[in-house]
Amino acid sequence: MNKKFDVIVIGGGPAGYVAAIRAAQLGLSTACIEKWVGKQGEPALGGTCLNVGCIPSKALLESSHWYSIAQNELADHGVRTDKVRLELGQMLQRKDKIVSALTQGIEQLFKANKITWLQGHGRLLANKQIEVTSREGKQTIYDAENVIIASGSVPIEIPSARYTENLIVDSTGALEFNEVPKRLGVIGAGVIGLELGTVWRRLGAEVVVLEAMEDFLVMADKQIAAESLKIFQKQGLEIHLCTRVTSSEIKNKRVAINYQDKSGDHNITVDKLIVAVGRRPNTDNLAAAEAELLLDERGFVHVDEQCRTTLPGVYAIGDVVRGPMLAHKGSEEGMMVAELIAGNHASVNYNTIPSVIYTHPEISWVGKTEEELKASGIEYIVGTFPFTASGRARALGDTAGMVKILADRASDRILGVHILGAHSSELIAQAVIAMEFGSSAEDLALTVFAHPTLSEAVHEAALSVHGRALHTVQHRK
């Protein structure tokens, strides 16, 4: 007889492991299937995010930022660093230590919550049975009252730039270069492309970014995107928009790239090429045909607003379902589904999920952009405040960017907040909380913010909505 669990989760990334932990906390017997194997050949929890995504990339972004500061900015503070040198090996070791500590932490949380970790590949069969195939090829069948699919996503490969070992790589390979490439190519100017391109630019590489879209950062507010593009170009990123890579080949251990833009055909040669054109749902070999799991035309698992699939007792969460591929979105869905399985009320407010690009300055936003509001015919008012007028930003030497708040013209309710600036990933949480509670711009304007802080820029932008900003010249509305 097969062993049975109240809940079996397929996938141990931020969506899956959070779902498993919350289910166990609610008293449900829980198992989580994860097949990830780390660099040293050891099984690891945490999925893409902890192992080769969010965490290691942020570690390198932080390290490379400090290196850039030491090289280019500390002299302004009266600190001389004439003999700064890069030890890339140490930087990569630091990244790996952070990853190891966090993945081991998830393992300890599983033990503490009595969650069974099934190591191997999980596959949904009919009648909520799960087949787990170990690394050695052994197959075991488990029964579940409820199944949560959280199999994540994988990088998209394109025909014109097929991966080759250590030369044409995806985001994972871009975290492991053992030396700084003299010239680096990046296909895709989205979140991943900009973050990884920024890391290696700071460390000394010439970086050429090829983006197919005609506009820069189409998912962000247009004003914020335009200002961001200027900053990145000033930092030395060579960004080409409206380009299409037609082919690539390896020549003398370098990558020759052919691409087209509005002016015609072009070619460049780089030492390394990162392909960062997006990710797709990881649904390969996820379910047997007899399971009848419904996928859409792009391979996403079809779910309703509460992440229920068309199969009773089977849910899907995270990158494998509709919506932005964000770790925190998946985690919230994981908690919601665990609560629903336990018989509790739960939901996710998809209107207040923040997005962040961890470049420097950081770009973050929540809610609607101006372009979306215009397209919807919603009348709105805008308040902005530049970080050049922030005393704390001046003291930090980080004055690039701005805060922008969009509010409904009739009700004053906050509809969107967009921040380009230092530590905006932290500042955006204030906007998320405000929007979650249905705050108006006036509510934020009446809130007391500590001085001097970067968060005062949020306060000033709220004041600016009604022409009342105090620390920048503004015409009264």
Q: At what angle do helices 327-341 and 14-25 cross, to 10 degrees?
A: 30
Which helix or strand (DSSP H or E) is residue 62 part of? Answer: helix 54-72
Q: Has residue 315 got a pLDDT over 60?
A: yes
Output the pLDDT for position 256.
98
* Mean pLDDT of the 388-414 span: 97
Superfamily of domain 168-277: FAD/NAD(P)-binding domain (3.50.50.60)
When pLDDT is cut at 50, 70 and 90, the band that residue 476 belongs to is low
What kind of architecture, by CATH, is found in domain 352-464?
2-Layer Sandwich (3.30)
How far apart CA 160 and CA 284 sit, in angstroms, is: 22
The segment(s) of the chain belonging to CATH 3.30.390.30 are: 352-464
Amino acid at 67: Y
pLDDT in tens, 254-306: 999 999 999 999 999 999 999 999 999 999 999 999 999 999 999 999 999 99
Q: Which of 23-32, 37-46, 183-192 comes out lowest in average pLDDT?
A: 37-46
**Alpha carbon 381 to chain centroid distance?**
29
| Whether the Cβ atoms of residue 11 and residue 150 lie closer than 8 Å to each other | yes
Residue 306 dihedral angles phi and psi, to the nearest 5°: -105, 25
Q: Has residue 1 got a pLDDT over 90?
A: no
* Mean pLDDT of the 195-212 span: 98
Report the half-sphere exposure of 322 (CA within 13 A, side-chain side). Answer: 12
How far apart CA 321 and CA 148 sit, in angstroms, is: 12
pLDDT in tens, 208-259: 999 999 999 999 999 999 999 999 999 999 999 999 999 999 999 999 999 9
Output the pLDDT for position 477.
52
Q: Which of 105-109, 126-130, 342-346, 472-476 comes out lowest in average pLDDT?
A: 472-476
* Mean pLDDT of the 449-457 span: 98
Output the pLDDT for position 81.
87
- CA distance readout (Å), 220 to 194, 217, 226, 364: 14, 6, 10, 9
Residue 309: helix, strand or coil by DSSP? coil
What percent of the chain has a predicted confidence (pLDDT) above 70? 99
How far apart CA 216 and CA 134 sit, in angstroms, is: 44
Q: Has residue 161 got a pLDDT over 70?
A: yes
Residue 278 burial by Cβ neighbours in a 10 Å radius (0-12, 13-18, 19+): middle
pLDDT in tens, 35-85: 999 888 899 999 999 999 999 999 999 999 999 999 999 999 999 988 899
How far apart CA 95 and CA 92 sit, in angstroms, is: 5
Question: Which residues are tagged catalytic?
Answer: 451
Answer whether 0.85 is exceeded by the pTM.
yes
Residue 304: helix, strand or coil by DSSP? coil
* Mean pLDDT of the 394-423 span: 98
pLDDT in tens, 345-384: 999 999 999 999 999 999 999 999 999 999 999 999 999 9
Q: Has residue 131 got a pLDDT over 90?
A: yes
| Whether the Cβ atoms of residue 35 and residue 12 lie closer than 8 Å to each other | no
Residue 77 burial by Cβ neighbours in a 10 Å radius (0-12, 13-18, 19+): exposed
Output the pLDDT for position 200.
98
Output the pLDDT for position 475.
64
The segment(s) of the chain belonging to CATH 3.50.50.60 are: 4-155+280-348, 168-277
Output the pLDDT for position 379.
98
**How confident is the prediction for the chain on average, in pLDDT?**
97
What percent of the chain has a predicted confidence (pLDDT) above 90? 97
Q: Has residue 473 got a pLDDT over 90?
A: no
CATH class held by domain 4-155+280-348: alpha beta
pLDDT in tens, 317-348: 999 999 999 999 999 999 999 999 999 999 99
Output the pLDDT for position 474.
78
- CA distance readout (Å), 470 to 87, 239, 461: 46, 37, 10
Which residues make beta-bridge pairs with 265?
260
How far apart CA 57 and CA 152 sit, in angstroms, is: 18
